[in-house]
Structure 1
Amino acid sequence: MPSTSIESAAVDGRARTPRFIQRQLANLHKAITTNAKIIQDAIVADTGAKLREAQLEIHLSISVVKELYDNFSVEEALSQEYRVARGQDWCDRNDAVGTIYLRPQSHNLVYSIVSPLANAIAAGNCVVIESNKPHQALSSKIAEIILQHLDRDTIAFVENLPEPPSKGVLLIDQTGEIPKINASSVHTPGSSARVVALVDRSSDIVSAASSIVQARTAFGGNSVYAPDIVLVNEFAMKEFVQAAKIALSISIEETKGQDITASQATCKIAGIGLTEKELRGSGANVVMRGDLGTIAIVEDRGSSLLQRKIYGACLILHSVRSLDDGIDLANLQYGTVAPRNKTLLACYHFGAPEAAKYTTQFIDSYASFVNHAPIELTVGPAAPIGFHPSATHRYRPAMFSVPKADCIAGDSASRSLASIFRAEAKAWSDVYEKQITSSLAPTRQKAGKVVGFFDQGLITGFVVFWVPVIASAVVGSGYGIRAGIRMTRS
C-alpha cells in the first residue's frame, strides 16, 4: 500500500459508509466546479487542446459526478444494509473491493481520472492514482485540487503504482496493457484496437460526413474512438468526399483566430503528424489538407494505412462495392478473420435501419453506433472489456464492487422442494416422475412461407436458363407448324 492511512481506511471501511460517500461526491463536485477556470487553463496549456474542447472535458467530468450524486440515496443505502435484520433477502448486494489502483491514460487526463474516481467513491472504495508522466504539470494540478477537497486518508496520488496484493485491490488500467499480476484488474482494449466507419449509399451523406469529420478531428485526432478508416460505398464516394471537405472547412472557419500551434506540437510529440509525402508513399491520394485536418483516399487494399492505428486529424477513406464487401473488409483488416483476430473497439454504421441491422450483426466490434458518432466518445478512455459500453459513461459503480449475496428468507418453491425431498420415497418419486415426463409448451411457429436461400437459387436458375429455352422451343414449334401447314397446302 502507498501509505498506512489508505491501508487503515480500507480495513476499517470508513469509505463504505453512505454518508461518507455522499460527502465525498459533493466535495469532488465542488473541487471541479470551483476550479473550472484553473483546470481549463491547465488543460489548454499542457495538452494544446482548443478552449471549447477543454470545456467539453470539464463539462462531462462534472456530469459524471453530478449523476452519481443525484442517484445516490443515503436512506436507500441504509435500508438495504438492514434488510437481513428485517428478515429480508439482499441477493443483489454489491460490496466495495476495498482499494482501487488507477493508471489513467494521457488523453483527456481530467476526465480519465475523475470518471473512475467518482464511480470508485460511489462504490465505497479508497483510491490510489498514478501520476501521468507525459502531462506531469496537469497531473500535479489535478492532484492538488482533488486532495484539497477530498479525504486524504482515502485518496492518494503516487509517482508509480506499487505491486498490488492479490486480494482487496482492483487495478484500473486505461493504457491498454494487460497487467501481468495476480490482482484483479479492469483493463481497456489494447492501444492498437481500431475503429471503423461504414457509410452505405442509403445514408444521409452530409450528416454522416459531418459526424465522422468531428469524431476524427476532435482533440487533434487523439481520441481512441476516432475512426481509423471510413469505408464508403463506391457510388456515394464522390458525394461523401465533397461533404467531408465542407465539414472540415466549417471546422477551420470556427477555429479562426485561435492558437492551434500548441495542438500541432502535441500531435508531433505523439508521433502523429503524417506528412503528405508519407501519405502518398502509402498509396493515399490527398484530396484536402489544412491546419486542422487531412482527407485522403486509399485505393490499394494492401496499403499500410488500412493496417494500422491512425493518429491525428487524418481522415482515411476507402471505397467498398457493397455492404458485404464492407463487412468482409472491416473484419479482415480489423476483426475476426485472419490474420489479425482482433475485435473492433467500435464501428459507426451510417445507412438505412435495415442496412445497419445487417452490418451491426456481422461486423465484430465491442460497440456499434448507428447514424451518429456521439461527441462524448471523443473524450476519455476506451470502455473496459467485459462490460456493456456506454457513450456517456465509461464506468459504473458496479465495476468497482464485488457481488456478495445475503439470503435469509428463501422462496416458497425452494422450501416446498426441500420438504418433499425429505419426505417418504413415494412422495419424492411422484414429483420426480412428473418432472421427467413433463413436456415443454409448443413453439407456435407457423409454417414457413418465405422462399429460402437455396430455393431462391433454384428459382433464379430456372428463370435464367429454362425460361429462354422453353420460349425458344415454343417459338420454334410455332414456326415449324406454320411451315408444315404451308407445305401441305402447296
Structure 2
Amino acid sequence: MWNGCQPGYFWTFGWLNHGASSGIDKGGIAAGCAGELSSDLPRCEQTITTSTYFTSSIGLERNDETMANTYPQIRAAAIDERAHNIYYRQVQLETLAKAVIDNTSRISEAIASGYGHSQAEIAVELNLATTAIRNDYASLQPKKAHEEEYLLASSKNAAESRRPAGVVYIEPSTHTLFYSVIVPLSAGIATGNCVVVLLENNLRTLSSLLRDILTKALDRDTFAIASERITDQDFLELAIHVDQASNDQWPRANQISSLASTRTVAVVDRTGDVTQAARNLVAARFSFGGRSPYSPDTVFVNEFVKQEFLQAVVGECVKLGSGVTMNGSTKGKPASKVNEQIDSLRKADPDLRVVLQESKFAVVELTSRNPEVLAQKVEASVMVVHAFRSLDDVIDTVNSTGKNVPSLAAYHFSNPASAKYLTQFIEASVTFVNHIPAEILVGPAFATGRPVDLAVRYPRELFQLRRPAFISNTTTSTALSTALASHNSPAAAKLLAEASAPLALFKRHPGGGVGFFEQGFLMNAGILLTTTISVSGFTIYWLVKHGKRIW
C-alpha cells in the first residue's frame, strides 16, 4: 500500500526498490523522472492496493493462487504493476534495441545457417523488426501519458482510457522466428506488460541466440523464457495469449491468434498484366523458403493467358538461380521438400504436369479439381497453377473448395472492374489487387478478427484493456434525465414527438439501376429490334422499287 502518492508516477520509486536484478542504472532513471515531473502535481486522496488493481485490470475476481506455480516472479511483477511505469518501459525498449543492434551480425548468421534465407531476406526481416521497436519506443511520451491520466482531474472525459493487460504470453511461429518474437515482445513491453516468450530447446542456432540475448538484456522480474508450451490454465486465462500457429477460427477474447493452416489464393485474369502478376507471385511464393502464410498456395490462371503466364513465371524463376530447364528436368538433385510436395500433389492428381523444377523450387500445373488438393497449404517452394474458364468459374471453384473458411489472403491480377467482382464474391480475410506487399511475407499472419494494418503487425491496443471513464454528461443524456424526472413534462412531450416523426428518407432515382440480367435483356432486344427494322426497311424499299414489275 502507498499513501499520498502521485498517480501515474509513484512507481518511479516503487520500481527502483524492486529492480536489483535488472542491472539498470536506477539513479539515472530516478533523475530522469524528477526532471520530467512537476513538484506541485496533485496527490492521491486514497490508498492504492496493487493486488486489487491487478484483479480489476485483468477482469477476474481471484488473484490469490493464480500463476502461483508458473513464473511466480512474473505474477508478482504484474500484481505490483512494475512494468506500468513509462520510464521503465523506455529503458526496457532501449536495452532491447541495443541488444538487437549490437548482435546484428550474429543474428544474421544464425538466420542464414538455420533457415537458408538470402542476405536480402535477412535484411528485410531485421529492418522490419527494428522498425517495430523504434515505433513502439517513439509512442512512449511521458507528458502525453500524464495528460491522459489526468483527464478526469481536468474535468474531461477519458473515453479512450486503456490499461495494460498484465501478462503477455507469446508462442512464436517458426517462420521468420526473429521477427515473430521481437515484434510482439516490443509491443508487449511498450504497453506496460510482463512478457513470457516460448523458445523451445532445439538445434536451431537462432533460438539459442535469442534466449541468450533477451535474457541478458531484459529485466528478469518482468520477462521470462519458456522452454516448452505452457499448459497451466490459470496462467493462460490471465495472460494475453499470442498464438502465431493457431487453427482456431474463433479465438477467445484473451487470444491473439494467427491462422497458420488457411490457404492463400491468387487469380490471374486475362484482363490483367501477366508479366506483373508473374513477377509478384514468384517473389511471394519462393521468398523466405516458401514458408510464409501469405505465399500463394494455388494460382488460378485464365486459360486464355495460361501459356503466356507460365512463360513469364519461368523467366522470373531463371533469375532466382541457375540450373533451370524445362519439363521438370534439373541440373543437380532437387531438395527433398520440393520432391515430397510434388509427390503428394501427384498422388491426388496423376495428370500433374511439372512445368519447371530446380533444386530449391518448382512450378507445377494441376488438372484435377480435387477439393483436398486445392484447399491444402503448400509447405515447400512449389507454385501450384490451375486454369479456369471465366470469373464465375474461378469464384465457384475457390468458394467450393474453401471448406467454408475464408482464404487467408487473395491476390487478384486484373482490371479494376474484374477485381471488384472477384473481391466481392471470393471470401478472403484480406485482398490485394495487382500487387503483393513484401512486408506481409515476413512474420505470422495478421491476428484473426482484427483490423489489418500493413505497417503494424501487432498494434499496441491488442495488449491493453479498455477502461473508459466519463465525468461530463452528454446532451442526449441530460434531455432523457429531464424527461424522466417529471411525468407529462415538455421534455417528455418533445421526446415523444421525435419518436413519432417519420423517417427522413434518402432520395433515389425512381427507376433504380439496371442490373446484370437487365443489361443482357436490353442488349439482345436492341440487336433484335435493329435487325428487324433493317430487314423491314430493306423489304419496303425493294417492294416500292420493284413491286410494279412483279404485279
Q: TM-score, normalised by structure 2?
A: 0.78
Q: 1:278 to 1:415 in 2, by over 3 A?
A: closer
Write out aligned runs for 1:359-374 (5 A). Answer: 359-374=422-437
Query: Are the equivalent residues in 2 in contact too, given 1:15–1:125 (CA < 8 A)?
Result: yes
Give the superposition deviation at 1:82: 1.5
Q: Which residue of 1 aligns with 2:27?
A: none
For residue 438 of structure 2, the aligned residue among 359, 368, 375 is: 375
Give the superposition deviation at 1:421: 2.4
Give the superposition deviation at 1:392: 3.4
Query: Are the equivalent residues in 1 in contact too, given 2:83–2:192 (CA < 8 A)?
Result: yes
Q: Which residue of 2 aligns with 1:260?
A: none
Q: Which residue of 2 aligns with 1:186?
A: 256
In 1, distance between residues paired with 2:268 and 2:550?
66
Is 2:169 the partner of 1:169? no
Is 2:115 the partner of 1:47? yes
Q: TM-score, normalised by structure 1?
A: 0.88
For residue 291 of structure 2, the aligned residue among 222, 244, 248 is: 222
Q: Which residue of 2 aligns with 1:403?
A: 466
Write out aligned runs for 1:281-360 (5 A). Answer: 281=347, 282=349, 283-302=351-370, 305-334=373-402, 340-360=403-423
Give the superposition deviation at 1:481: 7.5
For residue 479 of structure 2, the aligned residue among 413, 416, 419 is: 416
In 1, distance between residues paired with 2:448 and 2:207?
25
Q: Which residue of 2 aligns with 1:258?
A: none
Give the superposition deviation at 1:405: 0.8
Deviations 1:363-412 (Å, cap 9, x if unpaired)? 11011111111111111111111101233332111111111111112223
Query: Are the equivalent residues in 2 in contact too, given 1:106–1:134 (CA < 8 A)?
Result: no
For residue 457 of structure 2, what is the amino acid of its counterpart? R
Give the superposition deviation at 1:307: 3.3
For residue 459 of structure 2, what is the amino acid of its counterpart? R
Q: Which moved more, 1:205-214 or 1:169-178?
A: 169-178
For residue 218 of structure 1, what is the amino acid of its counterpart? S
Residue 401 of structure 2 aligns to a residue in which SS?
helix
Q: 1:273 to 1:142 in 2, by over 3 A?
A: farther
Taking CA–CA contacts closer than 8 Å with sequence separation of 6 or more, which of the two structures ends up with the larger relative contact order? 1
Q: Which moved more, 1:456-465 or 1:64-73?
A: 456-465
Give the superposition deviation at 1:222: 0.9
Q: Which moved more, 1:131-140 or 1:351-360?
A: 131-140
In 1, distance between residues paired with 2:285 and 2:409?
13
Is 2:306 the partner of 1:243? no
Q: 1:445 to 1:287 in 2, by over 3 A?
A: same
Q: Which residue of 2 aligns with 1:388?
A: 451
In 2, distance between residues paired with 1:43 and 1:16?
33
Deviations 1:75-96 (Å, cap 9, x if unpaired)? 1112111111222111111211
For residue 196 of structure 1, the aligned residue among 252, 265, 268 is: 265
In 1, distance between residues paired with 2:528 and 2:184?
65
Residue 37 of structure 1 aligns to a residue in which SS?
helix
Residue 357 of structure 2 aligns to a residue in which SS?
strand
Residue 212 of structure 1 aligns to a residue in which SS?
helix
Query: Are the equivalent residues in 1 in contact too, given 2:341–2:382 (CA < 8 A)?
Result: no
Deviations 1:454-479 (Å, cap 9, x if unpaired)? 43343244345565566656666777
For residue 239 of structure 2, what is the amino acid of its counterpart? V
For residue 340 of structure 2, the aligned residue among 274, 279, 283 is: 274
Q: Which residue of 2 aligns with 1:261?
A: none
Q: Which residue of 1 aligns with 2:519?
A: 456
